[in-house]
Amino acid sequence: MTNSATGSSRRPPTAQAFVLAELRRAIIAGEFLPGQPLRQDALAERFGVSRVPLREAFKILESEGQVHYEPHRGHKVATLSLTDLLEVYRIRQLLEAEATRVALAGNPDSSVLENLETAAREVETASAAGDLLKMTEANRRFHFVLVEAAGMPRLERMIKILWDSTDAYRFVYYGAEANRSRVEHEHALIIEAFAERDADKLIRRLDEHREHAIEALRTFLDAAPSPTTDQA
């Protein structure tokens, strides 16, 4: 598995945006484990920033459910929870079905299909290379092609928040090669349904895609040991 280096060449324009992006990447990639404390001094040194952008980034991650704050103990990475996952995926199901219907009703041009195919190929390339972080990012691009095609920016922002809160689960799901192969196959079925302009079929394919991920993660979470609170 390959890892992205901290601080890419396309560093976000503000310290807060940079820290937020790096914290998200580290959580998704499993560099920071569920339940692990996030020490501000160590993180400020790692990212070369003051505590101010760290605190602001923590607030955003806390609102997304990726980080928890405990009085007198500070922030820590949220633990993975099947209950939270089921709630987020249920809300996604409702919102993404609406986005899909609106997108198809608007008779999208050929660029939408082309963008889906491009993103699907990027998922496959990252999967073949064992780069789970890049696969996670490409998978998001794939799904947001449909969301963006609806032309509903408020709905898109709501769905983005839901995706942000579950990226760590997605990274776990991609850890198994069989799951990655299933994702690639299901993306092909989603593209096929979109090309046919069949909204009901497309929504059904998306529902099946989520349900398979939920079932795999249910097995993983049921078997996972409870995190300790003193992880370094």
**What pTM, to 2 d.p., does this model score?**
0.80
pLDDT value at position 25?
Answer: 87
Domains plus CATH for the chain?
A: 15-77 (1.10.10.10), 82-223 (1.20.120.530)
pLDDT value at position 47?
Answer: 92
Whole-angstrom CA distances from 122 to 141, 167, 176 are 9, 17, 18
Handedness of CA 204, 205, 208, 209 (dihedral sign): negative
pLDDT value at position 12?
Answer: 64
Phi-psi region of 107 (alpha: psi -120 to 50; beta: other; left: phi over 0): left
pLDDT value at position 135?
Answer: 93
User: What 3-state class would DSSP assign to 29?
Assistant: coil
In three-state form (DSSP H/G/I as H, E/B as E, the rest C), the secondary structure along 84-139 is: HHHHHHHHHHHHHHHHHHHHHHCCCCHHHHHHHHHHHHHHHHHHHHCCHHHHHHHH
- Asked if 67 and 167 count as a contact pair (C-beta separation under 8 A), the reply is no
Terminal-residue alpha carbon distance, the chain: 23
pLDDT value at position 64?
Answer: 82
Whole-angstrom CA distances from 162 to 2, 49, 156, 193 are 26, 28, 10, 24
Successive 10-residue mean pLDDT values, the chain, 232 residues: 44 84 86 89 93 93 88 89 93 97 95 98 96 92 97 97 88 91 98 97 98 93 60 38
